[in-house]
């Protein structure tokens, strides 16, 4: 089994799990991470970086991943954890939780990006891994699909912010809503635009 041309998967380190996160940049909501161990006997066509896929393609691929993968897991770090340990460490924590949730223990973990947390097995970070290694692509897709669905639900709980459209990311609609409606419990208070809104109100509450 081989991956990108510059990376060889040692046969004695299979099964291999791909890991990626979704939701590191938004102003609101949790950060999600997924871990996926693909089944070589049941390949999935079209896996790539989730950001390069349409929502419809992501949903269809997520269903195939859940059905065909040898193991998969989605985990999260809550807004309170992001506030306490910062978004980088919260993302790494979510990745650890995702791998710990796998029903099949991997011998190797490949993580998208340039940082990876400590695991109980060998691990390696790969720049642009979500577009180079199918298992990381699958993890990217699962994490984004689960997070996007949750942010759509948040629109029902906190109407008027447009969470169903922007999923908590920075955009004019979101910034205008912050000014008009204030800060919700799912906003990341240490992120610049949210902090500025709180400072303008002279408090750290809603």
Q: What is the CATH number of the domain that holds 114?
A: 3.30.420.10
Count the neighbouring beta carbons within 10 Å of the beta carbon of residue 150. 18
What is the average pLDDT across 115-121? 94
Cα 135 to its chain centre, rounded Å, is: 14
Q: What is the model's pLDDT at position 3?
A: 41
Same domain assignment for residues 114 and 168: no
Same domain assignment for residues 177 and 115: no
Give the total number of structural domains in the chain.
Answer: 2
pLDDT 10s digits, 43-91: 999 999 999 999 999 999 999 999 999 999 999 999 999 999 999 999 9
What is the average pLDDT across 141-162? 98
Same domain assignment for residues 131 and 167: no
Same domain assignment for residues 70 and 113: yes
Give the structural domain span for 122: 11-151
Distance CA 27, CA 174 (A): 9
**Structure tokens belonging to residue 87:** 């978004």
Q: What is the model's pLDDT at position 110?
A: 97
Contact 34, 146 (CB under 8 A): yes
Residue 45 lies in a domain: yes
Same domain assignment for residues 105 and 178: no
């Amino acid at each position: 089994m081989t991956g990108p041309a510059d990376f060889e998967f040692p046969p004695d380190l299979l099964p291999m799990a791909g890991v990626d996160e979704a939701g590191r940049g938004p102003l609101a909501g949790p950060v999600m991470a997924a871990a996926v161990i693909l089944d070589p006997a049941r390949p999935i066509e079209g896996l790539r970086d989730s950001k390069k896929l349409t929502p419809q393609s992501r949903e269809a691929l997520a269903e195939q991943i859940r059905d065909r993968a040898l193991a998969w897991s989605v985990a999260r770090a809550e807004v309170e954890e992001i506030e306490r340990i910062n978004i980088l460490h919260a993302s790494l924590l979510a990745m650890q939780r995702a791998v710990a949730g796998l029903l099949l223990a991997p011998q190797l973990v490949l993580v998208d990006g340039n940082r990876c947390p400590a695991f109980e097995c060998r691990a390696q970070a790969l720049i642009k891994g979500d577009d180079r290694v199918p298992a990381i692509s699958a993890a990217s897709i699962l994490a984004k699909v689960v997070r996007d669905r949750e942010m759509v639900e948040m629109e029902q709980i906190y109407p008027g912010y447009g969470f169903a459209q922007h999923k908590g990311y920075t955009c004019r609609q979101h910034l205008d809503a912050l000014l008009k409606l204030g800060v919700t419990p799912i906003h990341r208070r240490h992120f610049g635009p949210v902090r500025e809104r709180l400072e303008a109100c002279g408090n750290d509450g809603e």
